[in-house]
Chains A and B, each alone.
Chain A
Amino acid sequence: MAPRESALRGFTKHTSRPSRRDLLAGLAAGTLTVAAGGISTSSPASAAPPGGPVTLDEFMRLSRILTDNEFSLRDEPGSLYLASLVVDPDFDVPLRQLVQDTVRAADPPETFDEVLRSGALRSEAAAKTAQQILVLWYSGLVNDRTADYLEALAWQAVPFAKPASTKLGFPKWGEAP
């Protein structure tokens, strides 16, 4: 039995892979929180950037930029992801700054690489906020709840498969896609 203390806390990188039992133990114990538990910035930005709170429209535009407009992203889960970020002190201010530097910019970047080149992810806090946004969209999980399963990008980004519980077709698994 792996020690319970090894239960993951979020999604930071790991040098040794945990077991499912560790992970499930973390879920059961409430020590694993997808939205907030794992990313900790030692000194979250405290100075509020200019501009008002991030709107859902702005968050969705930022999300599309971070995913290179490769996917169809829906507002409904997006609103839950945004809500989880703005209540988290690690992400609230960096998110506002990230929006300020991207979707509110005079010449907004259109792709993730353009965001990188713009310098908007130079700070650790901004980079981790972008990382968290991507984790939310890929996992569909927020605050230990499923916001979106069938359209979570962890499935949508795997074109050879279908989300579990949906039809692939008989017997397509027998050959390479």
Chain B
Amino acid sequence: MSVVASADVVIVGSGVAGALVADRLVRRGVSVVVLEAGPPVDRDRAVEIFRAASAKVPESPYPSTAYAPRPSVLDIGLPGTGYFVQEGPIAFGSTYERVVGGTTWHWLGSTPRLLPSDFRMKTQFGVGRDWPLTYADLEPFYVQAEKEMGVAGNGREDQGSPRSAGFPMPEVPISFLDKVIDRAARTIGLKVLSTPQARNTETYNDRHHCVGNSNCIPICPIGAKYDAMIHLDRAVNNGARLISNAVVREVLLRADGTARGVRFRRPNGSDDEVLGRAVVMAANAIETPKILLMSNGGKGVANRSGQVGQNLMDHPIALSYGLSAQNQPVYGQRGPLSTAGIESPRQSAARGTRSAFRVEIGNEGWRFPIGDPTFEFTQGPFPALREGGAALAAKWEDHVAHEIRFASLTEQLPDRANTITPAFDLVDDIGIPRPRITFSIDPYTQAGFDDAQALHQRLFVALRARDTTHVPFAFGAGHIMGTTIIGTDPSTSVADGFGRSHDIRNLWIVGSSVFPTCGTANPTLTLAALALRTEVALRAALPGLPAAA
């Protein structure tokens, strides 16, 4: 074991949060080492892997590795399989990537902001927690994050989140399908709004605009959708050092309790160290708490509150799908996978007793509930016996042209009983504990789930939809939050409002693991804004921190 690098700041994780912090720091002369557990991704190769995959799930372009395994939706709900050690009572349904660039490789790209009320859940609604910062505190960083990521949006639409600046790009045109649903929604007092999204509608930062490859999840073939490689590449070009295939297993401490650096394991099982003046944990809401809890000989660090790994949250999804009226095809399977939603339920009057939710409208037919059209065709009712020829083709085309789906993101409350801990008794191929997860959905969230399905049904009726289905259980949203929450009280939170550990003064945490509550907005823009805010605080504190040694 040897010290292979030292820098002012050691960043654990190369996803969007870590990449943004790295980019900002090196541009201001701070030396940075970024460690990533997994390998780099070649975009063209990943597209080919996707096309060859039999199950075109979010993880399909990114093969798991023995040394940095990752969860897959193919494993969810199959006891004894996969990377997660699922302890129930229900399966945790969200996944992530362990590759250079992180999960932004397969994210949808939606970037709604949180609402001001989302920061004051306890005060305003009597549930959850208050954040140690307000919407106004974060708003300038939302503006910066939107500029960094390249967000397209319609500034004339009121999304409920006040803005001090316009969007960097004009909105992504809503789909024909969105327009059909909007007409129906208006008949029941609802309105479809375009969704802000980190997807180019014009050349932006030397990246091409979207051309409708209709494949945001699992991979945009041309990089028109933002991913963390944009900032990671820039950080490396400006002097940051990236070490891939480096599975961080613990935060090292000095005698005075400050962080000395991190220890990581290579694919061959050997261990090495990287030292720094400060450590930034950016390894997502599963791996970050796992690493913290594995540290200090398994006794954990930064855990005076006892809440590292607790309060695991998702946006449990109510999923409904059907066919539009026979005389109203919607022509899905075209364009970005979602371009619009129904936002008013995010500010539900029942909030406080029933979860708010946001309705995402899908442009990708039934890919979410059933699968890619090629897979869907294997599931019946196509073709019927003694059915074929041009008639079959026309019937299939007609079916696909009418497919619609709604996915509502509910607002799960922080619950200390929802946990991720290192499974010291169940390790991966290089001897590192897998994530053990206990998870349940509280009655508040379940009530919102029920309300979302009821609203979906109203929409179906307004659309005169046919062959409708409401999936009776929640899907994972891929939005993994909580587990190292920020707060003002060190006895009940892990870090302060800037992501600085209450316990270790040179340790910061970025990513959605810091969310005290989750609201109903897709989390990436918020975690990006928080990361940019953390970078400012970290850089200001750096001169007062001990040298790397």
Contact = CB atoms under 8 A, between A and B. Distances in A.
Contacts of A141: 54, 374-375, 378
A11 B368 CA distance: 19
Interface of B: 47, 50-57, 73-78, 81, 90-91, 172-176, 201, 209-215, 219, 221, 329, 331-336, 339, 363-364, 367-393, 396-397, 400-401, 469, 471-473, 475
A12 interface: yes
Interface stretch (A50-58, A83-91, A98-106, A144-152): A144-152
Contact of B378 (A11, A19, A67): A11
Given A145-B54, A158-B333, A12 B380 contact: yes
Select the residue from A4, A17, A130 with max chain B CB neighbours within 10 A. A17
Contact of A162 (B54, B214, B374, B400): B214
A32 to B, nearest CB: 8
Contacts of B389: 66-68, 70, 111-113
B383 A1 contact: no
Contacts of A155: 373-374
Contacts of B201: 170-171
A165 B393 contact: no
A68 B329 CA distance: 25
A175 interface: yes
B202 to A, nearest CB: 10
Given A149-B51, A165-B215, A167-B211, A13 B380 contact: yes
Contacts of B378: 10-11, 34, 135, 139, 141
A73 interface: no
Given A158-B397, A173-B173, A146 B51 contact: yes
A146 B54 contact: yes
Contacts of A45: none
Interface string A65-83: 0111011000000000000
Given A67-B393, A164-B56, 4 more contacts: A4-B78, A164-B372, A168-B213, A171-B172
B212 A160 contact: no
Given A1-B473, A165-B51, A21 B374 contact: no
A161 B400 contact: yes
A24 B469 CA distance: 18
A20 B371 contact: yes
A48 interface: no
B176 A144 contact: no
B371 A157 contact: no
B393 A153 contact: yes
A42 B47 CA distance: 41
A25 B376 CA distance: 15
Contacts of B368: 20
Contacts of A153: 393
Select the residue from A24, A145, A176 with max chain B CB neighbours within 10 A. A24
A146 B53 contact: yes
B213 A173 contact: no
Contact of A168 (B47, B174, B214, B401): B214
A168 B176 CA distance: 14
Contacts of B175: 173-174
A121 interface: yes
A174 B331 contact: no
B182 to A, nearest CB: 12
Contact of A21 (B76, B173, B379, B381): B76
Select the residue from B176, B335, B378 with max chain A CB neighbours within 10 A. B378
Contacts of B396: 138, 154, 157-158
22 contacts: A2-B473, A21-B473, A24-B55, A25-B74, A67-B389, A68-B393, A112-B390, A112-B392, A115-B388, A121-B386, A131-B388, A138-B374, A139-B377, A146-B51, A155-B374, A157-B392, A160-B334, A161-B334, A165-B214, A166-B213, A173-B214, A174-B176
Nearest to A13: B380
Contacts of A66: 388-389
A166 B393 CA distance: 21
A47 interface: no
Select the residue from A21, A71, A150, A157 with max chain B CB neighbours within 10 A. A21
Given A127-B386, A168-B335, A19 B392 contact: no
A21 B475 contact: yes
Nearest to B217: A164
B78 A168 contact: no
A61 interface: no
Given A14-B380, A135-B378, A158-B333, A127 B385 contact: yes
B212 A168 contact: yes
A95 interface: no
B107 to A, nearest CB: 16
B74 A24 contact: yes
Shortest Cβ-Cβ A-B pairs, 10 listed: A173-B335, A112-B389, A168-B212, A68-B389, A161-B333, A112-B388, A174-B173, A173-B334, A171-B173, A28-B74
